Amino acid sequence: MTAPFPDGDLIEVRQASFRYGDALALDRVSFTARAGELVGLVGPNGAGKSTLVRLVAGLAAPHEGSVRLAGLDPSRAARREVARVCALVPQEPPVHWPFTVREAVMMGRAPRQNFFAAAGPLDRGAVEGALQACELLHLADRRLDALSGGERRRVFFARALAQEPRVLLLDEATAFLDLAHQVAAMRMAEVAARAGLCVVAVLHDLNLAAASCDRLVVLSRGRVVAEGAPREVLTEARVEAVWGLPVWRGENGATGDPVVLPRGPTSPGASS
């Protein structure tokens, strides 16, 4: 029988450093994420966001420091054990599998099936629920290689949901999606967090991150440079310093969420 998961922090990264050869990708990074919250990892390209997600998922081990996933060392624990805790929607999902959408989503049930991988009623119910949540029922019998990039991204999101994890890692899961499906994907992430999952999402769209996330962790050159509520973190000075771009920072009149736009000759607040 699977041991109960601890309450509170499900992800604990302590002073973690990681190198690709001589290149330092993460430099003494620490952060935690709790059950019931949606945390956004933001920062420019090469800041270390995807590397940090790989460490949490156990796909790599830190060269210094430690990573814990619901108490496990994810790089040392059995992959099946890790998969029962954590699901990852990768940045570039494989697309050459000769499987249908339903078959691909059913693969998310593998950690919870027996040796013979025989699908039972619980498996089929989880898959149908994930297909419906990701608006994929009408594509369920289509092959993956016949889908658009955005549709494939939704398939792998559905596979992660079908896995029934406690931790959901989204590595640019909104990439290649149109605006409506970006918003839908983040709403699903929000619903998952409100249901008690720990959700960590790598995001490049600062406005989408501000509108969706409970907390943001800003990385720059492999280090955490800010952490907190979006309205506290996304200041004009910080965005300009981290992204190297002059910006206008305002607020969404309907929600109060921060809004960040590049500053140009016709940007709000620009001098005439």
Q: What is the pLDDT of residues 145-191, one digit of tens each?
A: 888 877 888 898 899 999 999 999 999 888 878 888 888 889 889 98
* Residue range 9-245, CATH number: 3.40.50.300
What's the pLDDT score for residue 174?
84
Q: What residues pair up with 261 in beta bridges, in sequence order? A: 248
Per-residue DSSP letter, 139: G
**Which residues of the chain fall short of a pLDDT of 70?**
1-7, 93-96, 114-117, 264-272
Q: Are 70 and 33 in contact (CB under 8 A)?
A: no
Q: How far apart are CA 96 and CA 145, in angstroms?
A: 6
What's the pLDDT score for residue 267?
53
What's the pLDDT score for residue 48?
96
What's the pLDDT score for residue 154?
87
What's the pLDDT score for residue 137?
94
Can you give 204-267 as a three-state secondary structure string?
CCHHHHHHHCCEEEEEECCEEEEEECHHHHCCHHHHHHHHCCCEEEEECCCCCCEEEEECCCCC
Count other C-beta atoms under 10 Å from residue 174's C-beta: 27
pTM: 0.86
In the numeric block, the tokens 């305002």 are attached to: 250
Which token pair is 156?
């792998």
What's the pLDDT score for residue 257?
93
